[in-house]
Amino acid sequence: EGDGLHQLIYPTDVLIDKETDSLIICDHGNRQVVRWSRRSGTTQGEILIDNIYCWGLAMNEQRNLYVSDYVKQEVRRYQLGEKIGTLVAGGNGEGDGLNQLNGPTYLFVDQDHSVYVSDNFNHRVMKWVEGAIEGIVVAGGKDRGNALTQLRSQNGIVVDALGTLYIADSGNHRVTRWTQGDNKQGTLIVGGNGRGAGANQFNSPVGLSFDRHGNLYVTDWRNY
């Protein structure tokens, strides 16, 4: 742990840039986004973006990088090598308006370049169509709670090719699925049996990923 180029402090997200065979890491504690080559012999990273309270990362097929800023309450899109970026979500201060965010964490970008934002303290997931000045609530947003209409401090999100949204509902220790066009309530996929280490339980799930066979993997944070 530390602020050297060979160190990280509280990294919160990572993705693989296949074109350069490197890892892009949100080095949250050092307020920067860094890139580390995966080639053998690499001993330190390079800073891509600094002075940013980053939390979540995503990349589209053009290799544009999307980064959430947990303090500025915004998401920006960057061409690799760019330091300023373009605002794509939020940026209007902390709040629960449709043009605002409150604690944006994890991101997902679909094939249409719409950005899905896990809006943590608003207990909702927002979708911002490319070029939009405000977002659409696609899940939650009805205060925090454990009903299937609600979320509680959710984190990781994934959207499949049909537009179905999967959410790591951390505070409710479950994963839910929300069908495109129906933001009224989700469907329980796994968990939801209280906090615990049982085979049917989670303890603050935070990350989600599908493999090419459609299997879902969940990072079960507090079960180590």
Q: Which residue ranges in the chain fall short of pLDDT 70?
A: 182-183
Number of domains in the chain: 1
By C-alpha distance, which of 67, 75, 72 is closest to 35? 67
Whether residue 214 is contained in a domain is answered as yes
Q: Would you state the pLDDT for residue 60?
A: 94
Q: What is the DSSP string of 122-145?
A: GTEEEEE-TT-SS-EEEEE-S-B-
CATH code, domain carrying 72: 2.120.10.30
* Digit-coded pLDDT (tens) for 159-175: 998 899 999 999 999 99
Domain of 86, in residue numbers: 52-223
Whether residue 87 is contained in a domain is answered as yes
Look at the pTM and tell me if it is higher than 0.85.
yes
SS3 content of the chain, % helix, strand, coil (to 5): 5, 45, 50
What is the Cα–Cα distance from 21 to 24, expressed in whole angstroms?
Answer: 10
